[in-house]
Structures are given as structure tokens and as C-alpha cells.
Amino acid sequence: MENEELSKYVARARDSLYFSGARIDTDLTRFLAVHADACEELGRQCRSAPGPLFLVGSGGSYAALQTAKYILDGLLSTSTQVLTSYELIWRQPRSLGRDAVVLLASYSGETEDTVAAARYARASGARTIAIVGLGDTTLARESDTAIVYGSSAIYEIPIVALVLFAAGLAEGTSAAEAALALRKDLHELPDVLRRTLPREEALAEQRARSLLRVQHVFVLGAGPMSPLAYKLAMSVFMENIRISATFCDSAEWRHGPAEALERLRGTFIVLLGTDPSREISERAIDFCRSQGSEVSVVYDAAAFGKLNPLLAPVVMNSHTQWLIVYSAILRGIVDLDARVFMGHHVLAAGGARWP
């Protein structure tokens, strides 16, 4: 693809629904200004419910909720579980009752799995809170409360909303000071993104070209980066570039998968955090390279400067999107919003609009 044609498609991609990184600083700033107080107030309202929190979603939303849980577990004494939407129904947890709060994330508000989970939760007597991109949707209408964020930042904004919710829940507890510090850190995210994303944009084409002939990648990450590595492999590389990808936690890579390098030479992408999990991911990088595998791209949160390690994935998601945009276009996928099966009533049942 000629440079002029490539530049044309990249410029068009900035308006794509799924390329939220092109406007993430603006979207986060707007969400914090409009919704921060309401999210915290929801947390305050739920203080009287001593039961567990269930974070429920599918696809990219599930990865966002896993990231949020990582933050909430270090902040709240409340039991927090993350389940894919149908898993909530299939497990039939005994703790899902009147004291439980179920927070459900779905950009479309029409995800078959998540709508079914919301109905099951309400029938069980739990309070339901929907975090949705669009308001006039089944999930928003059928939940007790809806946070409608009106943005395509389907990974970042549910995380931010849940941290704010947790700040409200933590008021008056020993975690209140830590929650206030996290809330302050959230308001710094747009500036971090504005400062760091131009550098990533400049690197993205070269990185994408290095992967152009690759048909399978391994994506590793640990600690707070593990859910984002899962998202990158499972619902980004396969969904947007349409090549195969395997996710593995960097620590778990040593427990079996590493043996495969005795007979194959893989291509790796690794997400490095600045928390204590960093060391195990660095060891994984060194091992893969020592066995002749290509560690093509390393995303390093240390480049973000002084940033709470738990919030580094919120920034890094947009960085990885630049690689995906260039990779998709260079492979001939120039409409980033189009899907072959999802949203075409091929994978959904019962009249659901998504997937």
C-alpha cells in the first residue's frame, strides 16, 4: 500500500467507532466532568448493602471488568467477582440475592449474554447497575440504574466508572484515603494520554509492518496488565486483524506453554507494567528471545512517567490501538467498524442485536 493511500485510511480511521484512542483524552475528560459525582453517589447508596459485588460482561467489557477488579480488590473489603455474562446464570451463585449489587458493562446495551444476566440478577433480587455506551437500549431500560457514557471507550470508561463507584463505597472506611488518591489519579489520565500517544502514533506503522507476515501472535502480560493482554489477544487481534492469537499470563507462561519453544519459534507481544509483576514479564521476554523467538513489540508503562501502576492499562489500551489500526489497514481491512459475523444475527439468538 502506497504511503498516500495509507495516510488516507489512517485519517479515516480516526473517525472510526472502535478507534477510541483517537479521542480518548476528550472522552475521559467529558466523562469525569459529567458522571464522576453520579458514580460516587451510586457507591454511597450501595454502602448499606453488605453483600458481594458482581462485575458482569462479555468480550472487551469482560476484560475491562477484570482490570477494574484488580483495582477494587486492593481498595475494598467487599467481595468482588468478575463473571462472563452467561457464567453468572450458569453458576447460580448462592450469594446473588437482595444484598448483592450486579454491575453490568455493555457498549451496545443489547449484548445477548449481558441482557440475560441482568434479567437473571433482577429475578434473584439483586440491584442491577448498567454501564452502557447507549441509553435507549434494553440493558439500560431493564436495569435499576444506568450510567450512559456516550463514548466508544468501552474499555477505559467502565474501569473509571467502577473506580469512582468504589470511592463512594469506601467513604467512611479505612480505605477512604486510598480511594481519594485514586480519584485524583483518574483526573490526570487525560493529560498522560495527550503527552504519550503522539510518540506511539509515530512508532505504529513500523511496528505493524514488522508483523505484516505474521499469522499468529502470543500476547503476554501479568498483574494489572494481564486483563489487557487477554483483551488484545482475544478481542482485538482476532476481531480486528483476523489472525490467530494466544493470551497467556506471563507468570503462567512458565508452567507448561514455555515448553513449546523447544520446537517452535513464536512471535510475542508483551505488556510491561510498573508494579511488582514487571519482573516476571521481563524474565519471560529474556527467555523467549534466548530461544530464538521474536519479541516484536514491548509496551512499557514506564514510558508513561509517574502514573499509578493500577491505572497504567487504561493508558496502554489506546497505545495498542495504534498498532491495530495500521495492522488492519496494511492487511486490507480498511473499514475498522465492519464486522463479518458480529452484529449480523449470526452469533446471537432470540432476536438479540449483538453479537
Residues 271 and 223 in one domain: yes
Query: Does residue 343 form part of some domain?
Result: no
Do 242 and 101 share a structural domain?
Answer: no
Q: Would residue 27 count as lying in a domain?
A: yes
Residue 64's domain is classified under what CATH number?
3.40.50.10490
Please give the Cα distance from 36 to 174 (Å, whole number). 21
Q: Show which of 185, 211, 235 is a domain's final residue.
A: 185
Proportion of the chain above pLDDT 70, given as a percent: 100
Please tell me the distance from the alpha carbon of residue 180 to that of residue 173, in angstroms, as a whole number: 12
308 and 194 in a common domain:
yes
Containing structural domain, residue 273: 3-16+190-330
d(CA 178, CA 322) in angstroms, rounded, equals 33
The pTM of this model reads: 0.96
Tens-place pLDDT, residues 139-198: 999 999 999 999 999 999 999 999 999 999 999 999 999 999 999 999 999 999 999 999
Phi, psi angle pair for 255, to nearest 5°: -100, 60
- CA-only gyration radius of the chain, Å: 20
Clarify whether residues 228 and 129 are in a common domain: no
Q: Is residue 352 part of a domain?
A: no
Strand partners, 269: 219, 297
Residues 102 and 238 in one domain: no
Considering the domain architecture, whether residues 301 and 203 belong to the same structural domain is answered as: yes
Contact 261, 288 (CB under 8 A): yes
pLDDT in tens, 292-328: 999 999 999 999 999 999 999 999 999 999 999 999 9
| Cα 143 to Cα 136: distance, rounded to the nearest angstrom | 12
Question: How far apart are alpha carbons 109 and 164 in whole angstroms?
Answer: 21
Per-residue 3-state assignment (H helix, E strand, C coil) for the chain: CCHHHHHHHHHHHCCCCCCHHHCHHHHHHHHHHHHHHHHHHHHHHHHHCCCCEEEEECCHHHHHHHHHHHHHHCCCCCCEEEEEHHHHHHHCCCCCCCCCEEEEEECCCCEHHHHHHHHHHHHCCCEEEEEECCCCCHHHHHCCEEEECCCCCCCHHHHHHHHHHHHHHHCCCCCHHHHHHHHHHHHHHHHHHHHHHHHHHHHHHHHHHHCCCCCEEEEEECHHHHHHHHHHHHHHHHHHHCCEEEEEEHHHHCCCHHHHHHCCCCEEEEEECCCCCHHHHHHHHHHHHHCCCEEEEEEEHHHHCCCCHHHHHHHHHHHHHHHHHHHHHHCCCCCCCCCCCCCCCCCCCCCCCEC
Q: How confident is the model at residue 51 (pLDDT cuts 50, 70, 90)?
A: confident
135/203 same-domain check: no
Terminal CA-CA length for the chain: 31
Same domain, residue pair 132 and 103: yes
* pLDDT surpasses 80 at 329: yes
Compute the distance between CA of residue 266 and CA of residue 55 in angstroms, rounded to an integer: 34
338 inside domain:
no
Q: Is residue 198 part of a domain?
A: yes
What b-and-e string marks burial along 163-177, b requiring 16 or more CB atoms within 10 Å of the CB?
bbbbbbbbeeeebee
The string of pLDDT tens digits covering residues 7-30 is 999 999 999 988 999 999 999 999
Q: What distance in Å separates the CA atoms of residue 225 and residue 281, rounded to the nearest whole number? A: 10
Structural domains of the chain, count: 2
pLDDT of residue 96: 97
Q: Return the C-alpha cell found at 69.
A: 477488579
Confidence of residue 48 (pLDDT cuts 50, 70, 90): confident
Same domain flag for 181 and 195: no
Query: Same domain, yes or no, for 251 and 305?
Result: yes
Q: Does 229 fall in a domain?
A: yes
Q: Which of 157, 185, 213 is the last residue of a domain?
A: 185
pLDDT of residue 142: 97
- Domain-located, residue 335: no
Q: What are the pLDDT digits (tens) for 223-263?
A: 999 999 999 999 999 999 999 999 999 999 999 999 999 99
Give the closest residue to 285 by CA, choosing from 305, 302, 264, 300.
300
Task: Give how far Cα 202 sits from Cα of 197, 206, 214, 323, Å.
Answer: 9, 8, 21, 10
Under 8 Å between Cβ of 157 and 146:
no
Examine the domain organization and report whether 160 and 234 are in the same domain. Answer: no
Residue 354 covered by a domain: no
- The last residue of one of the domains, among 129, 159, 185, is 185
Q: Same domain, yes or no, for 72 and 206?
A: no
